[in-house]
Amino acid sequence: MKVEKILFPKVKALYEAVEELIFENIDVKEIKVSDITSRAGIGKGTAYEYFKNKEEIISSALLYQIDLICRQMIKNLEELNDFFQAMEFILCSIDREIKKRDCLIQFVHLLSDNGLIGKTLQKKIKETNQEVCMPRDVLSHMLQVGVANGDISRGISASYASMAIAAKVIAYIIYISDENWESECSREEMHRMICDGLRRELGHA
């Protein structure tokens, strides 16, 4: 696995402040440097000792959180030797970890955003490609297990299988964010349908 970076305490405090603000449903585009530094308990000038601007702070914080989330997921998934058990674990994790879910939503949204924060995040991903653990690394691990165990057909490309899994995960996040949808179908039932859908789509009816 990629080596985890050691952070300066003040940088870590800034990253955690961004996470807290996201958890409070504040749009990342509306967050100010003063909001972050006030929450982190450090002076505004201190932030600029480590970062050029707000966009760098927020994009770096999001990458840090995604890195932590993905590392922990892979660590937990290594204990599972079945692709569909791994998928169930991912879905249950989304149910439990609200903070992680919110960070993931913001991260996915910014990947296609052309604003300053989105562009900064996309640039940082390219620069730190070999250092940061990303969702694609989690998918890659799941696919290796799935193919090795015969849960995923070898005739299906890894790229397509990754897209199929990612699409289901993102759709599930949208589903549990809407109380009206959830009233029609329990989370447990949705977990089962998602796994059954993947069995059919990935070559195992």
Q: Note whether residue 3 is domain-resident.
A: no
Q: Note whether residue 186 is domain-resident.
A: yes
Q: Note whether residue 4 is domain-resident.
A: no
Q: How high does pLDDT run on average in the chain? A: 87
Q: How many domains are contained in the chain?
A: 1
Q: Note whether residue 24 is domain-resident.
A: yes
Q: Which domain holds residue 148?
A: 9-201
Greater confidence (96 vs 87) lies with: 87
What's the whole-model pTM score? 0.82
Q: Note whether residue 73 is domain-resident.
A: yes
Q: Note whether residue 53 is domain-resident.
A: yes
Span 50-70, average pLDDT:
92
Confidence of residue 57 (pLDDT cuts 50, 70, 90): very high
How high is the pLDDT of residue 80?
87
3-state secondary structure the chain: CCCCCCCCHHHHHHHHHHHHHHHCCCCHHHCCHHHHHHHHCCCHHHHHHHCCCHHHHHHHHHHHHHHHHHHHHHHHHCCCCCHHHHHHHHHHHHHHCHHHHHHHHHHHHHHCCCCHHHHHHHHHHHHCCCCCCCHHHHHHHHHHHHHHHCCCCCCCCHHHHHHHHHHHHHHHHHHHCCHHHHHHCCHHHHHHHHHHHHHHHCCCC
Instruction: Report the percentage of the chain scoring pLDDT > 70.
Output: 94
Q: Note whether residue 108 is domain-resident.
A: yes
Q: Note whether residue 1 is domain-resident.
A: no
CATH number, domain containing residue 170: 1.10.357.10
